[in-house]
Amino acid sequence: MSNLDITFLGTSAAMPSENRFLSSIVINRNGTLFIFDAGEGMQYNFIRARFSFNKKTLIFITHMHSDHILGLVGFFQTLSLQGRNKPIDIFGPKLLYDYLTENIRILNIKLSFPLYIHVIEDKEGNIIIDKEYKITFCRSNHGYGIISFAYCLVENNRPGKFNIKKAKELGVPEGILYQKLQKGEDIEYNNKIIYSSTILGPLRSGRKIGISGDTRPTNELCNFFRNCDLLIFESTFKSTEIDKAKESFHSTAFEAAVLAKLSNTFRLCLTHFSTRYKDLSILLDEAKSIFYSVDIAYDMKSISIPYRD
């Protein structure tokens, strides 16, 4: 069983507010850190959250707007000052390579760790395939000429529930053989092959976390986020300002809720709020008028994602 926790390091749109830094989200899966965007101020909350400076870390950039990337170089410098030696892989649009290499060169930052920059050029697909999960991406719609991506962390299916009564009927001794069967491995015992499928129930789904980045809602994203356990979707505006949302290629809280409902999302969390809104309950209320399970993100908010079964 793997722990899966989400921490918001920044939840404001375009500019920071008194209590919100710019966009950044961390998924902590059993100690591996997946960071999505790195807006200004994110490293302060990274330190406050007591994340390790030397854990396995992967970074995913949704698009090359300043409120989503300006925290990167300072974050890398802090990691170097802390003596990090494990490599970091970072993924994003083509301009990410130029941005990082030029800023690191101009500022003469001496990285203490290998930095591998991966350019995403396709419209959708997988960028990481692990034995336990994969990271997928899909092109989003944040304006003409703006290359932007949404991401999902998708866990692989888990073996079915272990039928201990059946195992005992077959005479399998507890211990290592139980553990192998629980992992879905077939075993040999008393010169017989015991298939895990006779001990285990149907496969159980892993968890799926979706992160929208900045975007208008689209049919492609609706399909991409289908069956998310948690969907984190930008909600820059309330529905009465739909014209501003369309003009700037952002979404309203109402639209985020509609997409969550259509995609059969289990739980929705709104983020990326315009500083014009001092009271975010208006965004929460309009989302809840459409979708039953909605929450509002704030800096340092942490959400644990259990398995649904």
Q: Which residues are known catalytic residues? A: 67
SS (H, E, C) the chain: CCCEEEEEEECECCCCECCECECEEEEEECCEEEEECCCCCHHHHHHHCCCCCCCCEEEECCCCCHHHHCCHHHHHHHHHHCCCCCCEEEEECCHHHHHHHHHHHHCCCCCCCCEEEEECCCCEEEEEECCCEEEEEEECECCCCCCCEEEEEEECCECCCECHHHHHHCCCCCCHHHHHHHCCCCEEECCEEECHHHCECCCECCCEEEECCCCECCHHHHHHCCCCCEEEEECCECHHHHHHHHHHCCCEHHHHHHHHHHCCCCCEEEECECCCCCCCHHHHHHHHCCCCCEEECCCCCEEECCCCC
